[in-house]
Amino acid sequence: MRFRDLKKHSKQAPKQKKETVFYAGFLVRAKAFTTDIFMIGLPVALVIMIVFGYDETKSAGALDVIVHDEQALSHAPNPSASIVQIILILGIHVVLWRRDGQTPGKKFANIKVVDAKTLKEASFIKLIVRFIAYFISLLSVFGFFVGLLREDKRALHDLLSGTAVIFVKN
């Protein structure tokens, strides 16, 4: 091989392997969400019951109020208890997502929340938007199933917040 050929090869940057990203699908995310209901939701409900009293557990839920159920008329929810409950759940989720991208359910499912563009940890603002966008996905119901139609499996709340859920490397 001639010297100038060697020189050309040495100037070329080595090709970097593009890392393959595996996005978490609907079923694994549903498993994580269900686990989080028990691991985060139940302890928060117990705190609300201790702080606001046992009668708060018998009050109507948000869905009862929306559909004008009879229980909503007879046992109206305490607005301050509902606000405290949402703030606690939001705070726990955002702190856990920010700390290592995982809630207990996501850790169990070996998935984590990341910034969709950088695939690194997402900012607090994006994570707060993601939590609020959960309600939009919940109200539309379709929002959770958007991921079934996308290659990157991102649901509506992921699209609105700029996040993605990926599998964790072991």
**CA 28 – CA 48 distance, rounded (Å):** 29
**CA 135 – CA 78 distance, rounded (Å):** 20
Q: What is the pLDDT of residues 23-72, one digit of tens each?
A: 999 999 999 999 999 999 999 989 988 998 877 767 766 656 666 667 66
How much of the chain exceeds pLDDT 90, in percent? 58
Q: Give the largest CA-CA distance in the chain.
A: 91
**CA 45 – CA 19 distance, rounded (Å):** 41
Of the pLDDT bands very low, low, confident and very high (cuts 50, 70, 90), residue 16 is low
**CA 8 – CA 2 distance, rounded (Å):** 10
**CA 126 – CA 66 distance, rounded (Å):** 28
**pTM assigned to the model:** 0.80
Q: What is the pLDDT of residues 138-163, one digit of tens each?
A: 888 899 899 999 999 999 999 999 99
In a 3-state reduction of DSSP, which class is residue 73?
helix
